[in-house]
């Protein structure tokens, strides 16, 4: 089983880097995130509004694709997913202090 600690190196080892610039790899990460987020949303749209089957395996696979592109961006920025989570949590606690303290909306 792969742990999340091994994931940054996994992403680096599965990325074609020869001849590509940092900007091109970051663009790949950004466009990949958008595309995979769209596929994630589309699978839920089909289930909710087009009476399609809910395929949890497919939804989880799309989340995995999102994770791959997110990790690629983190690698390129030289930050960890833990760093991103910590920064995000601090931002949200500052933005919504009462919600975070009480666990409910204002």
Contacts of 105 (CB under 8 A, 6+ apart): 99
CA-to-CA separations, 63 to 9, 17, 57, 104, in angstroms, rounded: 19, 24, 10, 27
pLDDT in tens, 29-87: 999 999 999 999 999 998 889 888 888 999 999 999 999 999 999 999 999 999 999 99
What would the mean pLDDT of 2-27 be, rounded to a whole number? 89
| Predicted pLDDT at 1 | 54
What is the model's pLDDT at position 103? 64
**pLDDT score at 52:** 83
CA atoms within 13 A on the CB side of 55: 15
pLDDT for residue 3: 85
At 100, is the pLDDT very low, low, confident or very high (cuts 50, 70, 90)? low
**pLDDT for the residue numbered 19:** 86
């Amino acid at each position: 089983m792969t742990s999340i600690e091994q994931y940054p190196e996994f992403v680096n080892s599965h990325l074609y880097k020869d001849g590509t610039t940092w900007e091109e790899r970051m663009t790949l990460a950004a466009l990949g995130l958008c595309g995979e987020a769209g596929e994630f949303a589309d699978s839920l749209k089909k289930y909710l509004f087009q009476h399609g089957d809910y395929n949890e395996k497919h939804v989880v696979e799309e989340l995995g694709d999102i994770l791959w592109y997110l990790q690629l961006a983190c690698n390129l920025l030289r930050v960890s997913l833990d760093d991103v989570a910590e920064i995000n949590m601090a931002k949200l606690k500052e933005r919504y202090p009462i919600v975070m303290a009480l666990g409910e909306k204002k």
